[in-house]
Structure 1
Amino acid sequence: MVLEPKVHSLALRFARVAHGRIHVAFASRDSHDWDLAAADLLVHEASGTLTTVAGETIRYNRPVTTHEALIAADPARHRAVSEIVAALARPSR
């Protein structure tokens, strides 16, 4: 794994996933519909996956236009990263 410096533009970060420049990108919670919609389309058209960290599909045009934390990646990496994030979120015993 190679960490890249944070790209502050959410749309550019997800566009780089769609382009293949980076393999996985995250967005912190409270991103708005208007920050996500075009980048979401790019990721999906490039056969990628963009969901909440919990794996839920993003729903737009709701009364509340903000979203939970997000992950964008190709499907195989998305699944692996989602499992890692879920494992980290589980309370330790």
Structure 2
Amino acid sequence: MNAAIRFTFMGTIACDSFLEFARHRARRLDLDLDIGRCDNARVELTVQGQEALVDMFEMACSLGPYDCIILDVHRTETALKDTLH
């Protein structure tokens, strides 16, 4: 089953490395990724794809790249789109 989830990752964020990390994980998991706001305290992303793979994406990004500390994650279901690109 497919899911579209909007994630807000909060903590200490290095935008360049976090977004590179998220893009890489989304490609590896064959997920569509839409990048929203990113600053030094939060990043907002929407991913769409197989539900189990979306969950894997959340786990990977919760651990984040070495220079980011993720303290909290908010997850909200959104409507499925044909494509996010």
TM-score in terms of structure 2 length: 0.32
Structure with the greater alpha carbon radius of gyration: 1
Question: Normalized against structure 1, the TM-score is what?
Answer: 0.30
Task: Answer 1 or 2: which has greater helix percent.
Answer: 1
Higher strand share: 2
